[in-house]
Amino acid sequence: MNNIGINFSQIFAANCEDLTISDRWSGERRIVTRHTLLRYHDVGRMGVIDYTKGAKQIDVKTMSKADKVNIIASQNGEFEARFGIGFEVEKNRIPNKFATPLIAGYESDSSCGEEAVTNIIPLVGKGTLRNKVNNMMFEAREVIEDRYSPSNYSCGGHITLSCKGLSGEELFNAVKPFMGVVYALFRKRLLNTYCNRNARLESNYDNSRYCTVLQKSNVIEIRLVSKFETTKQLMRRYELMYELLNFAVNNPNGKFSSFIKRVKPIISRMYGGDQAKVKEIVSLSKSFNKYITNGVISDNIAEYVS
Amino acid sequence: MSNIVTTTGVLPIEANFLTRTDVRSNARLNEIHECSEDLRTSEGVKYSISLRMAAHLTKSNEWFKSDSAKELMAEEGIQWSKKEFVEKSTGISYTWFCKLVKAAKWDEVIRDAYRRYNEEHNGTLSIEGLNKFASSVNLEELLAASGDEGLEDAIIEAVLLEEESEVAESNSIETVFTISFKCESGNVAARIDEHGNLITTNSDAQILDAIAFLRSKLS
């Protein structure tokens, strides 16, 4: 029996050898690494690692029964996370670009400077596996935290989500009734032209890159999310996204108020326990939800939506 | 068996959490580790060190169960079961931890009585021994019967009586055959005494299942 469980460092190390991509102009293969700055979009071409597979019994043992519904048992005795998540950590500068399991690679970004693109991470409930995910974030803190890698308001923190068995369009429609919370948290970004198109989340919208939520074939990209300044912020957003997918996929007819109740502790933690702030976010969430579903613009959100 | 478990499974994020001054102080980690070290190096005084450690572990456990500890761990991105907390933060096996926490719960008068009982019977002090000794004492009953002053004597007497009755019980009728079987439907236990009486709470069918299982293992 495996007593250690999935070892992200080991998987990462095995996926750092002999990496090459073809040059866009000459077509020649060139050697690349996970710790040097690549050109825009080259991290995807180099290849990201999918960590959603390969968890062991010990990794999922401590998970609650309710969260285990989002884990798929394979025939080889391993476990696969039903949900996956990836982040783009945009920064003005990342002085120490080092190889670490969370980060697939670094690339230049015309809007803000540089960005770290994460590998595909299992999006799971509380327990040993999530501790390991959080540990990857902790180990990448020199990349994530503003005190090491500064950012400004031109930077964002895009989040990509996937769910096994659902297309991007299906996932988009599943999360839509609950997106009010995400809008409330990152409402100021609704004024940003890089991420404010199709704010009412129409699923047949023509695929503009600068949508609030971008629909792709098997994933959705939430572009509204603001820059990452701390590791804990990344953890909180991970937790929020887990609750979003868990609720949207497993309780499609669930009430928005029930979802709010579920994520309230996370919002509270995001604001250091400031209950007045939590109340404000809840109120904004409800208004944004009305806006997304009916187009109603309440007074408290009028300044953010056009 | 060693009571210390390997803590190599501690993740860097967990190790960092365990270096926090507030965590070390609330979970009494310095004191517990000191006790562990004393246990490794001391001769003959292991029982009192274990009791000292048990008191710290009890406080540590109380902190772990508190809302503030839960909130702090959630904030730091760590979720531990009690077993994980114990093994990762103290390096003590969970079984040993349970024994120590149990030992820490006994009233001081019981612990004093156990110490005296051992002195009088040339026994060896141990945590397991204390737990066994204390389990057979109904303190409230004895307190009501003998009052505060004679309580220690009453405890020792009660334990001696209990031991005597246990011996008498085991000596009275010999057992000539026993079988016990753990299966999905529950436990099966049966014995036959020297007079040929079958003593069991199980049905014939359950005992036959146990016998069939035993037979399947014979070559």
Count structural domains, chain A: 2
Assess if residue B2 is contained within a domain: no
Whether A135 sits inside 8 A of B11 (CB atoms) is: yes
Mutate: best of B7, B18, B79, B81, partner A, most A CBs <10 A: B79
Q: Which residue of A has its CA nearest to B76?
A: A232
Q: Which residue of A has its CA nearest to B14?
A: A135
Q: What are phi and psi of A139, to 5 degrees?
A: -70, -20
Shared-domain flag, residues A5 and A151: yes
What tens-digit pLDDT sequence spans chain A (306 residues)? Answer: 557 899 999 999 999 998 999 888 888 999 999 999 999 999 999 999 999 999 999 999 999 999 999 999 998 999 999 999 999 999 999 999 999 999 999 999 988 999 999 999 999 999 999 999 999 999 999 999 999 999 998 999 999 999 999 999 999 999 999 999 999 999 999 998 888 889 999 887 776 788 999 999 999 999 999 999 999 999 999 999 999 999 999 999 999 999 999 999 999 999 999 999 999 999 999 999 999 999 999 999 999 997
- Whole-number pLDDT of residue B1: 44
Using CA atoms, how far apart are residues A202 and A213, in angstroms rounded to an integer? Answer: 10
Shared-domain flag, residues A123 and A155: yes
Looking at the partner chain, which of B16, B81, B84 has a beta carbon nearest the beta carbon of A138?
B16
Map tokens 């032209």 to a residue.
A193
Q: Which of helix, strand or coil describes residue A107?
A: strand
Assess if residue A223 is contained within a domain: no
Shared-domain flag, residues B58 and B140: no
- Which regions in chain B score pLDDT beneath 50? 1, 6
Looking at the partner chain, which of A127, A139, A232 has a beta carbon nearest the beta carbon of B79?
A127
Using CA atoms, how far apart are residues A244 and A83, in angstroms rounded to an integer? Answer: 11
Assess if residue A99 is contained within a domain: yes
Whether A130 sits inside 8 A of B79 (CB atoms) is: yes
* Owning domain of residue B193: 175-216
Whether B77 sits inside 8 A of A137 (CB atoms) is: yes
Q: For residue A96, count other CB atoms closer than 10 A to its CB.
A: 9
Shared-domain flag, residues B65 and B134: no
ipTM: 0.89
Assess if residue B124 is contained within a domain: yes
B→A interface, C-beta within 8 Å: 9, 11-14, 16, 74-81, 84
Contact with chain B for residue A268, Cβ under 8 A: no
**Which of B61, B88, B105 corresponds to the end of one domain?**
B105
CB < 8 Å to B70, chain A:
none
Q: For residue A176, count other CB atoms closer than 10 A to its CB.
A: 19
Q: Which residue of B has its CA nearest to A237?
A: B77
E-strand ranges in A9-48 read 20-22, 29-31, 37-38
DSSP string, A198-258: TTT--TT----TTBSEEE-SSEEEE--PBPP-SHHHHHHHHHHHHHHHHHHHH-TT--HHH
Write down the pTM of the prediction.
Answer: 0.84
Q: Which of helix, strand or coil describes residue A16?
A: coil
Q: For residue A19, count other CB atoms closer than 10 A to its CB.
A: 14
Count structural domains, chain B: 3
Contact with chain B for residue A30, Cβ under 8 A: no
Shared-domain flag, residues B113 and B98: no
- Whole-number pLDDT of residue B185: 66
Contact between residue B13 and residue A138 where contact means Cβ atoms under 8 Å apart? yes
- Whole-number pLDDT of residue B2: 54
